[in-house]
């Protein structure tokens, strides 16, 4: 990772912070997005202590807001001549259904739309830095979930578990369609299940889900173990030419049948473009083939 620039969201705690520090230790320069300034400065200090002299950098944004997603992606693209790896890791679960200022359900906005918009905003930097990689944190919580393209805001029957599971399914569908559009470009896209990890994830969610998540984490793995697959996908030569896959414990894993639905992935992509106004254009060769 010497000389490489890694952009990562959700890097101020848990597996995201561990992954950022581990990649910095391998020689990567880390550019990360944080919402909270106190935690952002703390993570930046850890990076500089672990791997000094690499000019690690933090940008601040609320990644649940569309304008903020677009702004911070544009800022990073303007500041960085290259992006070798993008790690989409920001995410949360919420006990109550909440709408953002854009009118999007909060889980959907943060867990899915931010991945899509940040990736699209860094498109030119990634394509100009080949070979490059896009890594997105999903979850086995996608299993048993469905995506209703006519109810992406989970307005019909919201539960925190359903909204979160759907968003993780959307991460896999996004990765599938993104990998298809990246074919032959030198940029790969993969996603992963980190395992059930003992972090602060969900500790401020409120409602029924908060004690449930805390209880589950009694049996969870450490953040260090949970971060391993992120680091592997971002750095290992073994996956340099692998794209469109879902990983667990550094191995390709099976997804639910719904997560492999290419028509659903294309439909979600189209709907997301309509909602955000951003796109990753389909290469002419793929349009001709289809």
Helix (H, G, I), strand (E, B) or coil at 186: coil
Nearest to 107 by CA among 177, 178, 205: 205
- The active-site residue, picked from 60, 158, 164, 246, is 164
Helix (H, G, I), strand (E, B) or coil at 267: helix
For residues 175 and 188, give the distance between their C-alpha atoms in angstroms, rounded to a whole number.
9
Longest dimension (CA), the chain: 52
Alpha-carbon dihedral angle through residues 29, 35, 40, 41, given to the nearest 10 degrees = 120
Let me know the angle formed at the C-alpha of 186 by 33 and 168, rounded to the nearest 5 degrees.
45
Q: Is the preceding omega at residue 131 within 30 degrees of 0, hence cis?
A: yes
Name the phi and psi angles at 259, rounded to 5. Answer: -70, -15
Distances in Å between the Cα of 16 and the Cα atoms of 136, 231, 252, 264, 290 are 11, 10, 20, 29, 37
For residues 54 and 264, give the distance between their C-alpha atoms in angstroms, rounded to a whole number.
41
Is 164 one of the catalytic residues?
Answer: yes
Residues noted as catalytic: 164
């Amino acid at each position: 990772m010497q000389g490489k620039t890694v952009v990562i969201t959700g890097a101020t705690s848990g597996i995201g912070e561990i992954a950022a520090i581990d990649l910095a230790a391998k020689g990567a320069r880390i550019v990360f997005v944080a919402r909270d300034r106190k935690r952002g400065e703390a993570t930046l200090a850890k990076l500089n202590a672990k791997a000094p002299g690499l000019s690690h950098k933090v940008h601040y944004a609320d990644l649940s807001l569309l304008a903020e997603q677009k702004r911070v992606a544009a800022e990073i693209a303007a500041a960085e001549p290259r992006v070798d790896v993008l790690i989409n890791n920001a995410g949360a679960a919420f006990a109550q259904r909440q709408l953002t200022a854009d009118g999007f359900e909060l889980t959907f906005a943060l867990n899915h739309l931010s991945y899509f918009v940040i990736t699209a905003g860094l498109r030119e930097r990634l394509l100009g830095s080949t070979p490059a990689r896009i890594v997105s944190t999903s979850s086995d919580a996608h299993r048993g979930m469905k995506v209703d393209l006519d109810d992406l805001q989970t307005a019909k029957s919201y539960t925190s578990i359903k909204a979160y599971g759907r968003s993780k399914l959307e991460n896999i569908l996004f990765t599938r369609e993104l990998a298809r559009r990246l074919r032959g470009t030198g940029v790969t896209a993969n996603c992963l299940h980190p395992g059930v990890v003992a972090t602060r994830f969900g500790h401020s969610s409120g409602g029924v889900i908060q004690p449930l998540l805390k209880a589950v984490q009694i049996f969870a793995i450490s953040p260090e173990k949970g971060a391993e697959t992120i680091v592997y996908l971002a750095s290992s030569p073994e996956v340099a030419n692998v794209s469109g896959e879902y990983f667990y414990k550094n191995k390709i894993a099976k997804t639910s049948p719904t997560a492999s639905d290419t028509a659903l992935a294309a439909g979600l992509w189209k709907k997301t473009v309509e909602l955000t106004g951003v796109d990753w254009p389909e290469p002419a060769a793929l349009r001709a083939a289809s």
